[in-house]
Amino acid sequence: MDALSLFRMVRPDAALSAYLPAGIQLPPSKTLAPKDLEQLQPAAAPLPSPVARPAETSFADTLSRLVDEVGHKQQAGAAAVNGLLSGQNVPLHQAVIAMEEASVSFQLMVEVRNKLLESYQELMRMQV
């Protein structure tokens, strides 16, 4: 993937910025107008036409879906432990496994967040 396509994917989006620490704003896309970049790029073969994809979900949608699913997993784990503690005959192994799965899912989400931040910071470090 060349730099032009990568920049095309980065769009300021209200939902995405909600996941970043406060005070950090994504740069508005106007400073990276695609047509300007095209002028900078040396004459090259046209990009191959993209393969027809189904209705494109933005990365922000994917991310919010991830957060929702992790939330559901956490709720399921908490419900299982609740059932165990209140004597509702939830088997011990089901509660333990539910907690572990919730923990692994959460860890996944945290790592995704870390990688996003790292890549954002790397982008910001790049010289224009």
Partner 1 sequence: MINLLTGVNSTASALNAERIRMEVVSQNIANANVSNYQDGQPYQRQVVRFETMLNAQAGQSLTGLAPETTQVARVEKDARPPRLIYDPDNPFSDANGCVAVPNVNIHEEMVDLITASRAFEANLAVVKSARNLALQTLAIGKRS
Partner 2 sequence: MIDALFNQPNYVAAKKLLDATVLRHEAIASNLANLETPNYKRLDVAPAFATSLQQAMNSQDTQRVAGLKPQLAVDAAATAANRDGNTVQLESELMRLNQNSLEHTLETQLISGSLLRLRMAITGRPA
Interface with partner 1 by CB under 8 A: which residues? 84-85, 87, 89-93, 96-97, 100, 103
Q: Does 119 bind partner 2 (CB under 8 A)?
A: no
Q: Does 115 bind partner 2 (CB under 8 A)?
A: no
Give the integer Cα–Cα distance in Å for 4 and 6.
5
Q: Name which of 36 and 111 has its Cβ closer to partner 1.
A: 111
Residue type, 52: A
Q: Per residue in 19-35, is it b (16+ CB within 10 Å) or e — as a string?
A: eeeeeeeeeeeeeeeee
Q: Name which of 4 and 60 has its Cβ closer to partner 2.
A: 60
Q: Per residue in 102-117, is it b (16+ CB within 10 Å) or e — as a string?
A: beebeeebeebbeeee
With CB under 8 A as the contact rule, the residue among 101, 113, 117, 120 that binds partner 2 is: 101
With CB under 8 A as the contact rule, the residue among 100, 118, 119, 124 that binds partner 2 is: 100
Class of residue 7 by CB neighbours under 10 A (exposed 0-12, middle 13-18, buried 19+): middle
What is the contact surface with partner 2 in residues (CB under 8 A)? 62, 65-66, 69-70, 72-73, 91, 93-94, 97, 100-101, 104-105, 107-108, 111
